[in-house]
């Protein structure tokens, strides 16, 4: 196991009817900016619960943060923060609203002229404006980590940011919120969380037995709850397992002491930036090709995953590893998620070259756990995913 340090300061308030606990998490002298997305919270009762719990503090609202939070819209919210002298941010939404709020937390205290520099210059935020979240969509883990991904339509870019100052102070996780989530978004959440675990697990063995088993148990739990969650999102037991699995998949715990990959996400983000494909679906497009291309480097972990998670016990390491890739692709299909770029766009020719060029222009020399996936290799992987 590699050396590591671990600190996660986010307080999790988990369970049925917990949104009312907001009241005791934000001090009464705060001036709160309540941030939300396209309006689902106004149809499913979450907005009423939140505003009731906030009745004793001053609240200003900012809605309309789109999926893949858009820089130009967030800049409007930043103006509200400054004009209204906001002191506390509250995200009520999925990964997009929470990530947008993290950007605002950083931008509110940033001294430079152009907040976009936080993303392009990789400026880490040591202390942002304090914020909390009410999670409405299990998927990203953003509710308990310090990372965010922001999109800029003008330049077709989607870039990551973060820093120790960007953990939510608290996150309220009431699994009942999944009742109103459309099936497509439930499938996205399952696929995203599943891939988060894979990114931190599908590397090479380093003998971190506990982290391997943490990762495998999250994968097994997601697989077990998938049919139940899709069939009946009002089934509280499955909703609770689903929600907690998504948070555990990306709150930093399972990545401690082990190598990480994240190349699937790096390539996937470009597909969202170029074509607007849902985040989770881009991961399903890239994952099978990525594992096939890097088969030799990853086959031991692939075989272990195949055996322990999918009960693939027949054949050699190579056989099991290959079957594990096929089984993973089949899992995405079971979620109703297509796994080829051409399933999403007819305009795919040239995509691999464009992504490789973007990585070269950004000076990204090598992705993956060995940091050896140079832009020319990325180009090959993306082409395999057409």
Summarize as ranges the residues that interact with ligand NZQ (CB under 6 A).
Answer: 37-41, 44, 67-68, 93-97, 99, 136-137, 139-142, 145, 147-149, 177, 180-181, 185, 188, 192, 250, 265, 279
Phi, psi of 74 (to 5 degrees): -65, -30
**Measured between alpha carbons, how far is residue 160 from residues 65, 146, 151, 171, 318 in Å?**
17, 11, 9, 21, 35
Residue whose CB is less far from Zn ion, 161 or 303: 161
DSSP β-ladder status, 157-162 and 170-173? unpaired
185 binds, among Zn ion, ligand NZQ, none (CB under 5 to 8 A by kind): ligand NZQ
152 binds, among ligand NZQ, Zn ion, none (CB under 5 to 8 A by kind): none
C-alpha of 86 from chain center: 27
C-alpha of 153 from chain center: 19
Q: CA 243, CA 99: separation in Å to the nearest integer?
A: 18
177 binds, among Zn ion, ligand NZQ, none (CB under 5 to 8 A by kind): ligand NZQ
Bridge partners, residue 13, by sequence? 172
Least spacing, CB of residue 166 vs Zn ion, in Å: 17
40 binds, among ligand NZQ, Zn ion, none (CB under 5 to 8 A by kind): ligand NZQ
* Binding region for Zn ion (CB under 5 A) out of 188-196, 201-209, 253-261, 326-334: 188-196
Least spacing, CB of residue 316 vs ligand NZQ, in Å: 33
**99 sits near Zn ion (criterion: CB under 5 A):** no
Least spacing, CB of residue 131 vs ligand NZQ, in Å: 13
87 binds, among Zn ion, ligand NZQ, none (CB under 5 to 8 A by kind): none
CA angle 173, 20, 188 (to 5 degrees): 25
**192 sits near Zn ion (criterion: CB under 5 A):** yes
The CA-based diameter of the chain, rounded to the nearest angstrom, is 65
DSSP state of 177: G
Residue whose CB is less far from ligand NZQ, 192 or 241: 192
Residue whose CB is less far from ligand NZQ, 38 or 257: 38
Is the alpha carbon torsion for 185, 156, 69, 241 positive or negative? positive
Residue whose CB is less far from ligand NZQ, 164 or 315: 164
Q: CA 168, CA 314: separation in Å to the nearest integer?
A: 45
Three-state secondary structure call for residue 17: coil
Three-state secondary structure call for residue 280: helix
Q: CA 221, CA 213: separation in Å to the nearest integer?
A: 12
99 binds, among ligand NZQ, Zn ion, none (CB under 5 to 8 A by kind): ligand NZQ
**307 sits near Zn ion (criterion: CB under 5 A):** no
Which position's Cβ is nearest Zn ion? 192
For the chain, counts of helices (H) and of strands (E): 14, 8
38 binds, among ligand NZQ, Zn ion, none (CB under 5 to 8 A by kind): ligand NZQ
Point out which residues bind Zn ion (CB under 5 A).
192
């Amino acid at each position: 196991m590699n050396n590591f340090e671990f600190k996660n300061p986010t307080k999790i308030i988990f369970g049925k009817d917990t949104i009312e606990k907001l009241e005791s998490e934000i001090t009464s002298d705060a001036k709160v900016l309540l941030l939300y997305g396209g309006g689902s919270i106004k149809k499913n009762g979450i907005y009423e619960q939140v505003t009731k719990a906030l009745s004793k503090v001053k609240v200003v609202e900012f809605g309309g943060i789109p999926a893949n939070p858009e820089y130009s819209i967030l800049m409007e919210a930043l103006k509200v923060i400054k004009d209204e002298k906001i002191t506390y941010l509250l995200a009520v939404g999925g990964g997009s609203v929470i990530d947008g709020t993290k950007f605002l937390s950083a931008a509110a205290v940033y001294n430079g002229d152009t907040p976009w520099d936080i993303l392009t210059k990789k400026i880490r935020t040591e202390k942002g404006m304090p914020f909390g979240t009410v999670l409405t969509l299990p998927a990203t883990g953003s509710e308990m980590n310090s990372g965010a991904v922001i999109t800029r339509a003008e330049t077709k870019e989607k870039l990551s940011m973060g820093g120790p100052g960007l953990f939510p102070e608290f996150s309220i996780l009431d699994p009942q919120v999944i009742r109103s989530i459309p099936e497509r978004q439930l499938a996205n959440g399952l696929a995203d969380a599943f891939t988060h675990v894979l990114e931190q697990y599908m590397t090479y063995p380093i003998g971190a037995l506990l982290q391997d088993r943490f990762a495998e148990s999250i994968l097994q739990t997601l697989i077990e709850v998938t049919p139940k969650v899709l069939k009946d999102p009002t089934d509280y037991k499955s909703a609770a397992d689903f929600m907690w699995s998504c948070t555990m998949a990306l709150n930093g715990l399972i990545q401690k002491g082990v190598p990480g990959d994240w190349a699937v996400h790096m390539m996937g983000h470009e597909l969202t930036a170029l074509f607007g494909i849902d985040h989770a679906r881009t991961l399903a497009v890239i994952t099978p090709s990525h594992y096939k291309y890097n088969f030799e480097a990853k086959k031991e972990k692939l075989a272990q995953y195949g055996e322990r998670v999918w009960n693939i016990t027949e054949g050699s390491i190579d056989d099991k590893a290959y079957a594990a890739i096929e089984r993973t692709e089949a899992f995405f299909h079971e979620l109703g998620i297509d796994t080829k770029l051409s399933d999403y766009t007819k305009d795919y020719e040239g995509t691999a070259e464009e992504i490789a060029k973007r990585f070269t222009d950004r000076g990204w020399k090598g992705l993956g756990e060995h940091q050896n996936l140079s832009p020319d290799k990325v180009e090959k992987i993306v082409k395999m995913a057409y």
